[in-house]
Amino acid sequence: MVRTDRPKREQAILNAALSLFVHYGYDKTTIADIAAKAGVSKGAIYLHFQSKTELFNALLLREMEVYGESWLKLIEADPKGGTIGGMYKNMLYALTSSPLISALFGQDKKVLGNSLSKLDYQMRATQGQSIRHEFIAMMQKADAIRQDVDPQVTAHIMDMLGYGLISMDRFKAEQDIPPLQDIIEGIADLMDRALTPAGGGNSEAGKVIIKQLAETTRHQFEKLEKEKRSELT
């Protein structure tokens, strides 16, 4: 679950930072800007975070937790959430609902700016967004994905689609891009047609695997956050 034990002031600072980073970008946003937006002093911010980089690290970890929980809730509510199309569709809905995680996933330099060179765990966070061939193999064993597809190739193609969804506006005019919901539903339909076993596959078994994946990822981010906090003490 997403942490709820952060002090209210810390949450207010992170919320202000999220708004400013997404709108103006990391490089153009200052601690003074964040303090003004949050209604606190600069000194108050430094009681929680040693630097803008430290603050951004904490914000990214929080947003990764929010993204993971949102994805899992969508999976749970979807009868087909354990199929490959349902899994991928709900992952994309959760991903595109988070502007900061979308920026990270698409390596958006307008938003992330110089933070890309400062985030020491950034690559590990991004890797958490990639589809792993081990996951595809597990879904095959659970009869949620066809047995006759190559896990590594399939995972790579799925990543290509995800990265393309996030970054397509760099290559096509906005008026030429279909509505986001139509694109996501279309991708899910293609995934199910191409990868779901005859008869629809075992969605419930697929959900169990996805829950396991979500739990593992949650523990990884909790560990990262503890490591970051221990560096301050």
| Domain map (residue ranges) of the chain | 53-230
Average pLDDT over residues 147-171: 86
Tokens of 229: 């906090």
Residue 77 scores a pLDDT above 80: yes
Q: Answer whether residue 124 shows pLDDT above 80.
A: no
> Encoding tokens for residue 179?
């509505």
Q: Which CATH number fits domain 53-230: 1.10.3210, 2.60.40, 1.10.357, 3.30.300?
A: 1.10.357
- Is 119's pLDDT higher than 70? no
pLDDT confidence of residue 123? 44
Q: What is the pLDDT of residues 105-116, one digit of tens each?
A: 777 788 888 777
82: confidence class by pLDDT, cuts 50, 70, 90:
confident
| 170's tokens | 């760099």
Segment 15-24 shows an average pLDDT of: 95
65: its two tokens: 């937790």
The Cα-based distances of 11 to 14, 17, 54, 161 in angstroms read 5, 10, 14, 33
